[in-house]
Structure 1
Amino acid sequence: MTNQSIAWHMALAIALGLASGAASAAGPEEAMNKAGCMACHSKDKKLVGPAFKEIGAKYKGKDVTAQLMDKVRKGGSGSFGPIPMSPNTPDKISDADLKAAVEFILKS
């Protein structure tokens, strides 16, 4: 590989890294809005699903980030009532954005 080819590959890798982090840089609230979470949830009042504040209170002091990420990915019902939450696949919200969103909710 020539020096010019190596430089081009490095620039491409940096650009791809910046582009993949762009969605996360916007913040968890924007990612949740884009993924459609806000259609059923709000920060402090119950809509179709529980308020983030209610979720945060239920799991306060517990290490449940991975568990809640799994629940969001698979969907389900029963934790906060009978209305089911549909699954949310990575094409709807990335793993990084989902983790940031769950951490944000747990701090609510």
Structure 2
Amino acid sequence: MNKALVALLLGGMLVQTTALASSGEELFKAKACVACHAVDKKLVGPAFHEVAAKYGADGTAHISHSILTGSKDVWGPIPMPANRTVSEEEAKTLAEWIVTLK
């Protein structure tokens, strides 16, 4: 494969990953996730590093579902309520960002 084409493709992937992380982080702050979660420490809910480690890259659908519908008895006795301010697309973006935080 042409070296220029490979560089272009890899550069595009890097830009896409950076944009995804940025919008995921922005949603994290804007959608009140910060009230219960932090990236690197447990607050009311688990640290996102722990969530990423538990579910891995294949866990985005599970995490997205939990954001939209809530969960209980997964990380302890305090349930996570459904986040009604997050759309399905935003939940997916958040979940994709969370799994990058290992």
Same fold (TM over 0.5): yes
Find out whether 1:32 has 2:25 as its counterpart.
Answer: no
Q: Hey, what's the Cα distance between the residues in 1 that align with 2:82 and 2:91? A: 12
1:48-87 equivalence runs, <5 A = 48-61=44-57, 63-87=58-82
Runs of 4+ in 1 over 2 A off after TM superposition: none
Give secondary structure in 2 for the equivalent of 1:78: coil
Per-residue displacement from partner, 1:40-86 (whole Å, max 9, x unpaired)? 0001000000000000111125x221222111111121111111111
Give 1:98 shift.
1.4
Structure-1 residue corresponding to 2:86: 93
Normalized against structure 1, the TM-score is what? 0.68
Q: Number of paired residues?
A: 81
Provide structure 1 residue ranges, at least 5 long, that are not aligned to the other structure. Answer: 1-23
RMSD between superposed Cα atoms in Å? 1.7
Structure (1 or 2) with the larger CA radius of gyration: 1
Provide structure 2 residue ranges, at least 5 long, that are not aligned to the other structure. Answer: 1-19
Structure-2 residue corresponding to 1:44: 40
Q: Hey, what's the Cα distance between the residues in 2 that align with 1:35 and 1:28? A: 10
Q: Which amino acid aligns with 1:80?
A: W
Q: Hey, what's the Cα distance between the residues in 1 that align with 2:68 and 2:88? A: 9
